[in-house]
């Protein structure tokens, strides 16, 4: 699913940013909020599928 791909991409961005000498914590927080929203959306979508998958 596209949202799952976006979550993985943002998680990778966060890992790369954290490796920097001066990571942009505001950017990391932004990505984390997007990940949280996408995960909530995924849960809502999955709950509507037969079998909840």
pLDDT surpasses 70 at 53: no
The whole model's pTM is what? 0.85
Whole-angstrom distance, CA of residue 42 vs CA of residue 25: 25
50 pLDDT tier (thresholds 50, 70, 90): confident
C-beta of residue 7 within 8 angstroms of C-beta of residue 38: yes
| Stretch 3-8: mean pLDDT | 96
| Stretch 30-51: mean pLDDT | 94
pLDDT, tens digit (0-9, with 9 covering 90-100), for 19-28: 999 999 999 9
Mean pLDDT value across the chain: 94
Give the domain extent around 33.
Answer: 2-52
Number of domains in the chain: 1
């Amino acid at each position: 699913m596209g949202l799952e791909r976006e979550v993985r991409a943002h998680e990778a961005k966060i890992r790369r940013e954290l490796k920097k000498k001066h990571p942009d914590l505001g950017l990391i927080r932004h990505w984390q909020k997007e990940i949280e929203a996408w995960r909530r959306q995924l849960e809502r979508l999955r709950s509507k599928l037969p079998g909840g998958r």
